[in-house]
Structure 1
Amino acid sequence: MYILTYLVEAITSVKANKLRTFLTSAMIAIGIMSLVGIMTAIDAVQDSINDGMSDLGVNNFTINDLTRRRGAFGKKFTKKSTITFEEIRKFKKLLPVEGKVSVNTTISGSVEIKRLSKKTTPNYGVVGIDEMYLKNNGYSIQKGRTFSSVELAQGQNVAIIAEDVFNALFNKNEEPLDQTIGFYGKKYRIIGLLEKKGGIGEGDADRKVFIPLINANKFATTRTLNYVATVNSTDPRGVDYAMGEARGILRTIRKDQLGKPDSFEIKRSDSLNSEFDQMTLTLRIGGVAIAIVTLLGASIGLMNIMMVSVTERTREIGIRKALGATPTAIRQQFLLEAIFICILGGVVGSFIGAGIGNAIAVFLDSTSFVLPWVWMIVSLVVCVIVGVMSGYYPARKASLLDPIESLRFE
């Protein structure tokens, strides 16, 4: 009952000093907003990536070139062991485990695609693929069709474009099928348009042009191509067995010596998630550090405000004590004022931070909306702690004032 009375008195005091309360709450809100905003953006992006990875399935693993780094006297040297086109084709034929194997190679991730008088910015990708790539990587056809077996075998100049390519080169209601696009001095006929894939960590999945793998291999005369195999294992013995079989076959094909490490890299799809978790952990730590610094400044400001409040209300405190208020009652009233101001700023900062975090995630092409209830609750708990820490000393000072001296204060 007494607590409710003190709370009403605290709210009345806060309403009597609206500008001061607003400025103090704003400092708290900024700290909470930075914490909740960063965590919301990270959670939304991570959900989007997890959704994208679920399209691939948990039984996927990839095989690609190995990059070795050797350090000496602070210097790093990189040596690449390139998997050739013939090696990756032979691997696909010899893999005995039941599964779906797709092979792809990226010609470039910074290509300018042209059509008539229109052209894209030079940050689009051209990828050579086989018959399984689109399915294994979660793409869906919106218009047209996929590559035929003849087009794949002969390496014809045909292409399937992603949605951002269409938006850059065509008008909204224009028909893209059987139209011609060009890059690197070659012309390609469009046979398919993909649905928007979105997601983060997909290497700009909607900014790509796909061509037959055999056709892409023709570019190997002017540049080094890196071939990647993705295996979607459906073998009942599990993905670990499939990875073991794949490793053994590719070691034989590449003539890796017994006892020597692999000359290639093999990685499960769930290991990509764990790597991203490590990166997001660093971002989370950074977000918490920013919030702590901001809240530390806000708590010092709040303590200063409460000290000023004690000074301004010295006569009021003397009157309360003269009427029988105990030091505990005075201390609780001032503590509740500090906590109320912090919670007010925390609630506002939490909702603004959640909105900003989701806006950042949308800017990064995330399709997930996250309302971080856990972080919002944590923020409110932090606000209470900050309120107690900032308000205790002024509240204690107020409770120890001598009532007679307080009544003489002008």
Structure 2
Amino acid sequence: MKNLSSRIINPVVIENMRIALHSIRSHLLRTILTVMIIAFGIMALVGILTSIDAVRYFFVENFTRMGSNTFTIRNMTMQGGGEHHRSDFLKKITYDEALEFRRNFTFPSVTSISTFASGSATARFEGKKTHPNNRVWGADENYLATSGEIIQEGRNFTPAEAFYGNHVAILGEAVADELFEKKGNPIGKVIGVGSGRYVVIGVLKSKGSSIGFSNDRTIILPLMNVRQTFAKPNQSYSINVMTSQTTSMSAAIGEATGIFRTIRKVPLGEQDNFAIIRSDTFVEMMIQNTRMISIAATFIGMITLVGAAIGLMNIMLVSVTERTREIGIRKAIGANKRTIRNQFLAEAVVIAQIGGALGIVMGIAIGNVVSYLIGSSFIIPWPWIILGVTLCFIVAMASGILPARKAANLDPIEALRYE
């Protein structure tokens, strides 16, 4: 067995590793500083890339709920501070326009109308109040299906409740937990929102958080009720459309564009004064943005690792100077240049891999903390782990080759005279 292991692992390699570990223990403080420099470089790289993966998975996971067969029609918004020559370019979508679209759009699909009522609403129940950071939406009975929301407890609006504007409400999980403190069933309880009182008929399944902001702080009220109690001038409405098949999306969007241009009386040849956004387009845009961030993060991590490589090289050069006499003794008893060179390269590799392992662990921890905060799942980023190990080996070889060559080329007689 011993002979077998000797054939598998070269005894010279084992000896070089033993000497490397002994040297590391002999200069512990210096080694720790070098290891930490490398660890922070790898941590920054792996941590940022893992965090970006977590954000990417979160968006893909959440928008997959909506499916790739949904699109939204909404008003244009000013972007980049640009000026538009047409006065109607930023025109809001009115309720009558949304209704007319729903009546005229005959493509096989489910269509819903919704409006954003408030982003700072407070909900109340028996003297308890939530923080004023709840978003209130007015929506019809089809809104949950077209927006990817799932009922966890209770039920959806009935068509009659949506049409007549009954005082009923569907709560996001965070709102329900804060009001009722995870005790008892919120269904049937009467809460206050704004100036109105509403019976809770449903609680939505959690969607987690996005960049630290909860997606569960939502209150959905019947559309007609919001038009009465949260009325504001120049209110704009959104239209969500879910087609029966993904393959029919292009045809549905083409028909929707033609109908809505007619409703809004957009002149032939003029640009649309409304936006149509596909759910899968948003996901693609987010993935593209995170890809650019990944490139930037990799560049930053590489700069850090270059600094770590310079630090490791300096440490190894100092080590060669301190061990000049030791190198002379080894050469005097028969060690050749290759043996001496490999000895110092092994030391550089050991230091770099210890730093890399520590950095990878810290990077994965940071990435998964971000994943937890945004409500995504646990991630083991194998590509970034492999990248981290590979980069550490490259850093070790790049940093160790010059000191190793210097040590290998020392004259044994001069080295033995060194004090």
Tell me if structure 2 keeps the 8 A contact 1:144–1:191: yes
Tell me what 1:293 maps to. Answer: 303
Compared CA separation, residues 147 and 303, structure 1 to 2 (3 A): same
Q: 2:319 corresponds to which letter in structure 1?
A: S
Tell me what 2:137 maps to. Answer: 127
Q: Deviations over 1:260-281 (max 9, x none)?
A: 0111001111110121123212
- 1:319 has 2:332 as partner: no
Please, which of 180, 205, 223 is the counterpart of residue 170 of structure 1? 180
Tell me what 1:395 maps to. Answer: 404
Tell me if structure 2 keeps the 8 A contact 1:49–1:199: no
Please, which of 28, 49, 57 is the counterpart of residue 47 of structure 1? 57
Give ranges in structure 2 of 5+ residues lacking alignment. 1-9
Identity between Structure 1 and Structure 2 (%)? 42
- 1:240 has 2:282 as partner: no
- 1:406 has 2:415 as partner: yes
Tell me what 1:85 maps to. Answer: 95
Deviates further, 379-388 or 110-119 = 110-119
Compared CA separation, residues 127 and 171, structure 1 to 2 (3 A): same
Tell me if structure 1 keeps the 8 A contact 2:115–2:137: yes
Deviates further, 293-302 or 251-260 = 293-302
Tell me if structure 2 keeps the 8 A contact 1:14–1:21: yes
Tell me what 1:270 maps to. Answer: 280
CA–CA distance in 2 between the matches of 1:78 and 1:241?
26
Compared CA separation, residues 258 and 71, structure 1 to 2 (3 A): same
Deviates further, 216-225 or 81-90 = 216-225
Structure-2-length-normalised TM-score? 0.91
Tell me if structure 1 keeps the 8 A contact 2:207–2:375: no
Q: Secondary structure at the match of 1:350?
A: helix
Q: Deviations over 1:150-200 (max 9, x none)?
A: 211111121111111111111322332222222332222212222223253
- 1:188 has 2:198 as partner: yes
Deviates further, 134-143 or 102-111 = 134-143
Tell me if structure 2 keeps the 8 A contact 1:347–1:380: yes
Structure-1-length-normalised TM-score? 0.93
Please, which of 161, 171, 180 is the counterpart of residue 171 of structure 2? 161
Q: How does 1:15-54 map to 2 (within 5 A)?
A: 15-54=25-64
CA–CA distance in 2 between the matches of 1:194 and 1:220?
22
Tell me if structure 2 keeps the 8 A contact 1:68–1:79: no
Provide the aligned length of Structure 1 versus Structure 2: 406
Tell me what 2:117 maps to. Answer: 107
CA–CA distance in 2 between the matches of 1:78 and 1:120?
39
CA–CA distance in 1 between the matches of 2:145 and 2:58?
19
Q: Deviations over 1:387-406 (max 9, x none)?
A: 11211221121112111111
Q: Secondary structure at the match of 1:101?
A: strand
Q: Deviations over 1:44-97 (max 9, x none)?
A: 121121111111111111111112458679xxx996221111111111121121
Tell me if structure 2 keeps the 8 A contact 1:70–1:78: no
Q: Deviations over 1:118-145 (max 9, x none)?
A: 1111111000111111122232223222
Give ranges in structure 1 of 5+ residues lacking alignment. none
CA–CA distance in 2 between the matches of 1:37 and 1:237?
38
CA–CA distance in 2 between the matches of 1:214 and 1:295?
59
Tell me if structure 2 keeps the 8 A contact 1:81–1:263: yes
Compared CA separation, residues 69 and 143, structure 1 to 2 (3 A): closer
Query: Per-residue deviation at 1:104?
Result: 1.4
Tell me what 1:179 maps to. Answer: 189
Tell me if structure 2 keeps the 8 A contact 1:52–1:199: no
Query: Per-residue deviation at 1:4?
Result: 4.4
Tell me if structure 2 keeps the 8 A contact 1:338–1:390: yes
Compared CA separation, residues 78 and 320, structure 1 to 2 (3 A): farther
Q: Secondary structure at the match of 2:90?
A: strand
Compared CA separation, residues 72 and 157, structure 1 to 2 (3 A): closer
Tell me if structure 2 keeps the 8 A contact 1:67–1:78: no
Compared CA separation, residues 184 and 220, structure 1 to 2 (3 A): closer
Tell me if structure 2 keeps the 8 A contact 1:62–1:229: yes
Compared CA separation, residues 69 and 345, structure 1 to 2 (3 A): closer
Tell me what 1:378 maps to. Answer: 387
Query: Per-residue deviation at 1:220?
Result: 6.3
